[in-house]
Amino acid sequence: MPVPLLQIDAFTDRPYAGNPAAVAILDGPADEAWMRAVAAEMNLSETAFVHPGDAGAWDLRWFTPTVEVDLCGHATLATAHALWSTGRVYADDALRFRTRSGELRATPAGKGRIALDLPVAPAAPADAPQALLAALGVLPTATGYGDRTWLVEVATEGEVRACRPDMAALAAHEVTILTAPSSGPDADVVCRVFGPSVGIDEDPATGSAQCALVPWWADRLGVDALVTHQVSARGGELHGRLRGERVEVAGAAVTVLVGELVA
């Protein structure tokens, strides 16, 4: 039977911005080889596969074009938007997703945003490999590591925007978040996220990065909530709040394509 498929731009309120994710809505579990093939065919940073689970929850998995990932914020936000917008779930009902990162929740957050409840993943201060810094071409003010992700802080937003990584060299390292204080009044911090080692040279807008960015900057700025502008070519706006051992990450989403998988 055909499988409903939506392409949704996440962490943006306008089409063709933010981070695009494909969402396949299944009746039940699917063959993993098929899911990997679909994700490669979609060739987006992530494709989500969701189906009804037990006790009112939904089972959710995410694949890049090359690997399955443990956590993907923007594709989770896109999945919630897909289930609500297609009428599979009432628009004001909270959603529970069973994933490789445990149970995640999505709730309407007002102003057209969806709030995700994600696990905190703080980056502890650590010396980044010199080869990684050389691949980025930056001089950091601080670096940290946690949950198989490097966080590299630089002094200015301009340095984040101007970064032109050597992707071939960066592919030898784990996912890297480059961040700095924002120079404008509409955001607290800026970031970019690079993951050539998992098949994504640069992710346009990354919900899971907030699991590290929010605790990192909350400590430095003395706040528990912040707005992050991800200054990729497509751009993204993410609203993060630290809630103990969890991080709330909110943003808008826009459907740009509705179709079916027939193979």
**Is the dihedral angle over the CA atoms 195, 198, 200, 201 positive or is it negative?**
positive
CATH C-level class of 3-116+249-261: alpha beta
> CA of 213: how far to CAs of 134, 146, 175, in Å?
22, 11, 13
User: Taking the domains of the chain in order of start, what are their residue ranges?
Assistant: 3-116+249-261, 124-244
Q: Report the C-alpha gap between 59 and 51 in whole angstroms.
A: 5
pLDDT higher than 90, residue 262? yes
Q: Report the C-alpha gap between 83 and 23 in whole angstroms.
A: 9
pTM, 2 dp: 0.91
Residues annotated as part of the active site? 46
User: Per residue in 101-133, pLDDT tens?
Assistant: 999 999 999 889 999 999 999 999 999 999 999
User: Per residue in 122-176, pLDDT tens?
Assistant: 999 999 999 999 999 999 999 999 989 999 999 999 999 999 999 999 999 999 9
**Which of the four pLDDT bands, split at 50, 70 and 90, describes residue 182?**
very high
CATH C-level class of 124-244: alpha beta
Contact 210, 247 (CB under 8 A): yes
Output the average pLDDT for the chain. 96
Helices (H), the chain: 32-42, 73-85, 130-136, 157-162, 167-170, 210-221
Domains 3-116+249-261 and 124-244 share a fold: yes
